[in-house]
Amino acid sequence: MSEVLFEIRDLVKEFKGVTALDRVSTTIRRGEVVFIVGPSGSGKSTLLRCLNLLEIPTGGTISFRGRDVSTRRRLHKFRQQVGMVFQHFNLFPNLTIHRNITLAPVRTGKATPAEAAARADELLERIGLIGKKDAYPAQLSGGQKQRVAIVRALAMNPEVLLFDEPTSALDPEMVGEVLGLMKDLVRDGMTMVVVTHEIGFAAEVASRVIFMDHGRIAADGTPDEVIRHSPQPRIREFFSRVL
Amino acid sequence: MRYFLLLMTGLLLSGVWGCSGSDKPKLVMVTNATFRPYEFVSGQKIDGIDPAIVREIADALGYELEIQDMSFDSLIAAVQSGRADIAAAGITVTEERKKQVLFTDSYVIAEQLIVVRRDAPYQMVADLKKAVIGVQHGTTGDLYVTKNIREPERYAHAPLVISALLAGKVDAAVLDSEPARVFVQQKAADLRLLTVPLTSEEYAFAIGKHNPDLLVRVNRELRRLKQEGRLDSIIRHYRELCEVEAEQDVVGGHRSMMAHLRDSLYVNFVKDRRYLYLWNGFLVTVCVTFFAVLLGIAIGFVVAVIRSTADQTGRWKAADWCCRVYLTVIRGTPAVVQLLIIYFVIFGAVDVNKICVAIVAFGINSGAYVAEIIRGGIMSIDRGQMEAGQSLGLTYSQTMRMVILPQALKNVLPALGNEGIVLLKETSVSGYIALQDLTKGGDIIRSQTYDAFLPLMAVALIYLAVVMLLTRLLGILEKRLKRNE
């Protein structure tokens, strides 16, 4: 078995008395492609955002590569190893595409400006957007923005990439290009945790699927076990409606 | 309370006197240079009967004379507090003032005269019972009218009283005889004097009660000047000088509009290089505004970052509390009051350039407004930007510096520009600390030409031109920044 990246034990998150996560425990290993699915409000995004501590858990522990990070004070060192892709891209509109990508590697000391620039060129080349390197985010389409956001996270060479509904804000004709890039990453062996409503995509590329309901993990297994042949009627009903 | 405040004012004011490099002991004289022919601004220096007499006395006693201009109602407090040595400003000896200071022997007997418009029906004092009377605030005319006739309209200085009279705002002006004669001579077509004086009075110099020794010496010199006839010749010299100037400043009453306007323009701006008051004042205004804006942005920036960090992360509670107090106090009090407090209280005991005082005061004032503008800008940036920065491993402050603030500043640029424009106009209260800014420059011209209209218009036009220019520049800057989107 490969190295354990995330070890999550009895994770609880409450928002003003409302329980979003209710004693969630799971493990994420290097090389896994874990899709988190489930109905709206089931706690999928909250679980994902707890993984890099954008949400601070109310209870339980999160360990990353054997170290408890949920009680750490200086989180940026930990976050440098965990990339994240957001629903609304969150590119920095005041910076060019190129600067969006090089900012973090340079400022965190991971790369010299020259190294970061070369790496950014290489990544932009790979997604076919090298021609836009000096453009600003506002000049790009949604699909282009999301692909830039993905390579911006990749530029930090993270151990794992978190995706928070990466295609939900896109026009339908742009979903394909983003899923295509994600598929490439799967092929490269990237460890990924993905929250999505693209169940078909999950069934195709996931190594594991976690089904969440009411803040708990209701099912956790291969795509076959969870999506196609779940013994639980509630889960079968959910997938019959979205597939 | 009033006296306490006066005392404070004088005490603190006197701390600001400059120092010069001479070995001779210094004699600091305070005056209010809007009272021809006793004291007035001539070019860049203060001249007149009082400065001339005190200079003779100071020379004879071996002092180096330093003259400071200030508002008339602060003069007594200034010598009382001991920071100024002698007040010489055509001060009338009264029982009330005798309780506060020592008076020298009188050097002139003056009368309070009543000036009215030529066509007004008033002939004697008794006619004034129902008239609106204008006086200079804090003068004996003010005291006498308040006590014996009725509550007067109080103006900051004598030329304003005359302007008000000419404009029909008041029916009669009560002034000391010397300036009253000069005014009437200048505007002979419009003004006349009532023949009977309202009251007569003695002028003397005021010296602090702690300094009876100086009083004795000044009196001795004063007696000598009287005996030598020097006193009379000084007084005559300045009376004649002012009468001649007044004749030159008379703008003829029965010529065409255009000729009249041309003469007015000449008298107000060209003659004696009076445009220099506007030009120098303009430079002061621009300098104060520019540096105050910079200071305001620096302060506002720091305060806004502290406030938003406290809001978003719960850190820096104590600093946040201080910022809140600062914002509440500054936004809850008028700028002119803050300016006076900073000048008289904070910088009271130190010798600081008035321009610096104004920059600090207006910078601190503006900082509060800038802080809230920038904080609004920070709050308006999507939360996702901070999350994206932090998810990449940047720290809170790195994300703030490189992602949030550049966007926030761009968003608030129009509001910041507006604040700069407000500040530019706000600096027009600098005259309160006797700083000669643009507005004060216009005031000085008015105090010499007694024309309210042209100097005011000129001042207004200059402000307007600067504001229009700033608006234009801001527009260009905004357009530039928008190109990045």
**Per-residue DSSP letter, B92:** B
pLDDT at A118: 95
Distance from CA of B484 to the nearest CA of A (A): 6
Q: Does A120 touch chain B (CB under 8 A)?
A: no
Contact A54 B407 (CB under 8 A): no
Which residue of chain A has the CA closest to B410?
A94
Domains of chain B, start order: 22-106+204-250 (3.40.190.10), 108-202 (3.40.190.10), 275-483 (1.10.3720.10)
Q: Give the pLDDT band (50/70/90) at residue A116.
A: very high
Residue type, B290: F
Residues of A in contact with B385 (CB under 8 A): 90, 92
Q: Is residue A75 within 8 angstroms of chain B, CB to CB? A: yes
Tell me the nearest-neighbour CA distance from B398 into chain A, angstroms: 8
pLDDT number for residue B81: 78
Does the structure show a pLDDT above 50 at B17?
no
End-to-end CA distance of chain A: 32
Cα separation, B107 vs B104, whole angstroms? 8
Select from B384, B392, B485 the Cβ nearest to the Cβ of A104: B392
Nearest to A156 among B385, B392, B398 (CB): B392
Check CB contact under 8 Å for A90 and B403.
no
What are A203's two structure tokens?
A: 């069934």
Cross-chain Cβ contact B394/A103 below 8 Å? yes
Tens of pLDDT, residue by residue over B161-212, are 888 888 888 899 998 887 888 888 888 888 898 888 888 888 999 999 988 9
**A149 CB-near residues (< 8 Å, 6+ apart):** A85, A86, A89, A90, A91, B388
The yes-or-no verdict on residue B88 having pLDDT over 50 is: yes
Mutation target for A interface from B392, B407, B483: give the one with most A CBs within 10 A.
B392
- Chain B: residue nearest A81 by CA? B393
Other C-beta atoms lying within 10 Å of the C-beta of residue A175 = 18
The residue that leads in pLDDT, B215 or B73, is B215
Could you read off the pLDDT of A60-94 as tens digits, one per residue? 999 999 889 877 777 888 999 999 999 999 999 99
For all residues of chain A together, what is the average pLDDT?
92
Distance, CA of A8 to CA of A63 (rounded, Å): 6
Q: Residue B20: its pLDDT value, please? A: 41
A chain contacts of residue B388, beta-carbon cutoff 8 Å: 84, 86, 90-92, 149
Q: Is A64 on the interface with B (CB under 8 A)?
A: no
When pLDDT is cut at 50, 70 and 90, the band that residue B12 belongs to is very low
In contact, B123 and B129? CB cutoff 8 Å: no
pLDDT confidence of residue A183: 94
Q: Which residues pair with B7 in a beta bridge?
A: none
User: Is B392's CB within 8 Å of A88's CB?
Assistant: no
Q: Chain B interface residues facing chain A, Cβ-Cβ under 8 Å? A: 382, 384-385, 387-395, 398, 402-403, 406-407, 410, 484-485
**What is the rounded distance in angstroms from the CA atom of residue A218 to the CA atom of residue A39?**
11
Chain B contact for A79, CB < 8 A? yes
pTM of the model: 0.72
Amino acid at A104: A
The verdict on a CB contact (< 8 Å) between A79 and B410 is: no
Residues B245-304: tens digit of each pLDDT: 766 665 555 557 777 788 888 888 887 788 888 999 999 999 999 999 999 999 999 999
**Taking CB atoms and an 8 Å limit, are B387 and A108 in contact across chains?**
no
Strand-pairing partners, residue A28, are A6
- The answer to whether the Cβ–Cβ distance between B393 and A52 falls below 8 Å is no
The partner residue sitting opposite B393, judged by closest CB among A76, A88, A149, is A76
Name the residue among A52, A103, A136 with its Cβ closest to that of B391: A52
Average of per-residue pLDDT across B55-76: 87
How far, in Å, CA of A75 to CA of A61, rounded?
Answer: 15
Place of tokens 């609304």: A88
A91 contact B CB<8A: yes
A209 contacts A223 by C-beta, under 8 angstroms: yes
Q: Tell me which chain B residue has its CA closest to the CA of residue A52.
A: B391
Contacts (Cβ under 8 Å, ≥6 apart) of A33: A186, A190, A191, A192, A194, A205, A206, A207, A208
pLDDT of residue B140: 80
Residues of B with Cβ-Cβ distance to A162 under 8 angstroms: 391
Residues of A in contact with B390 (CB under 8 A): 54, 75-76, 79
Range scoring the smallest mean pLDDT among A54-58, B109-113, B366-370, B460-464? B109-113
**Does the CB of A108 have a partner CB in chain B at under 8 Å?**
yes
Number of helices followed by number of strands (H, E) in chain A: 9, 10
Which of A86, A88, A138 is facing B485, going by the closest CB pair?
A138
Task: Give the dihedral sign, CA A119/A121/A127/A132.
Answer: positive
**A92 touches B: beta carbon within 8 Å:** yes
Asked if B390's CB is within 8 angstroms of A79's CB, the reply is yes
Task: Summarize pLDDT for B316-342 with one digit per residue, the tens.
Answer: 889 999 999 999 999 999 999 999 888
Q: Parallel, antiparallel, or unpaired: how do β-strands B108-117 and B199-203 relate?
A: antiparallel
- The model's confidence at residue B22, banded by pLDDT at 50, 70 and 90, is low
User: For residue range B221-246, what is the model confidence (pLDDT) as tens digits?
Assistant: 999 989 988 888 988 888 888 777 76
pLDDT tens digit string along A148-199?
A: 999 999 999 999 999 999 999 999 899 999 999 999 999 999 999 999 999 9
Does A90 contact B382 at a Cβ distance shorter than 8 Å?
yes
Most B CBs within 10 Å, among A90, A108, A150, to test the B interface: A90
Confidence label for B14 from pLDDT (cuts 50, 70 and 90): very low
Calpha distance B407→B484 (Å, rounded) = 11
Which residues in A lie closer than 8 A to residue B398 (C-beta atoms)? 107
Query: CB distance A93–B388 less than 8 Å?
Result: no
Give the pLDDT score at B249: 61
Smallest CA–CA distance from A149 into chain B, residue:
B388
For residue A34, the model assigns a pLDDT of 96
Identity of the residue in A90, A107, A149 whose CB atom sits nearest the CB atom of B398: A107
